[in-house]
Amino acid sequence: MRKGNEEVADNTAKVEKAEGHDAITREQKRSRRKRVVRARTISVKRLTQKELAAGRLLFPEKDYWKPRTREACAQIERPCPYVSCKHHLFIDVSPRTGAIKLNFPDLEVWELKESCALDVADRGGTTLEDVGAIMNLTRERIRQVEVKALAKLEALREMESLREYVEEGPIGKRRLPKLEGRSHLSLVQDGDGDAGDEE
């Protein structure tokens, strides 16, 4: 890893000389990638049913053991060899397009310092720079992802607070809430404005 950091420092110095910069700010240093090689995405085209069937015949799925629980996963040697796990840091698969993103295209799986996001989470909080180095992203991109995730959690919390106003019907179906002390007819009349003032 020491060699990789020296290469980054050398490349940073070369870029600064080429651009004519003698010194960079602390914020510019913090926002730079720790690694020179960026992640690469492999696009996957949409396949027809016939192409999928042919692929299944040519390359049948092999049934091999892999951990199903965190307890079983924690006992496996590191770096984790199961790159198909959604918590593995070597690749990411886009749920929308199916594209495969190689987070570390210049490394092999067994060369990763950290291979499991759950191991990182078990250690507790960490800095944006550390997470950026683990995922081969910039500090700023990690901050953007964090803000988006926190917004989703906030929206979920607001949805949970609305649940108290909704009654559960049979078999989990929801019914409209009943407003206490008022009938549907009185709500419609009140909505007309001065329906009660005419008399």
> What is the DSSP track for 110-172?
GG-S--BHHHHHHT----HHHHHHHHT--HHHHHHHHHHHHHHHHHHHHHHHHGGGSEE-GGG
> Residue 150 has what pLDDT?
93
| Confidence check: pLDDT of 72 > 50 | yes
Alpha carbon separation from 10 to 2, 4, 19, 31, 107 (Å, rounded) = 12, 10, 14, 17, 20
> Residue 147 has what pLDDT?
94
Summarised one tens digit per residue, pLDDT across range 50-71 is: 887 888 888 787 777 888 888 8
Rounded CA separation 172/183 (Å): 25
Summarised one tens digit per residue, pLDDT across range 136-178 is: 889 999 999 999 999 999 998 888 887 777 666 566 555 555 5
| Confidence check: pLDDT of 199 > 50 | no
- 77 touches 139 (CB < 8 A): no
| Confidence check: pLDDT of 196 > 50 | no
Give the pLDDT band of residue 90 (cuts 50, 70, 90): very high
pTM beyond 0.85: the answer is no
> Residue 143 has what pLDDT?
93
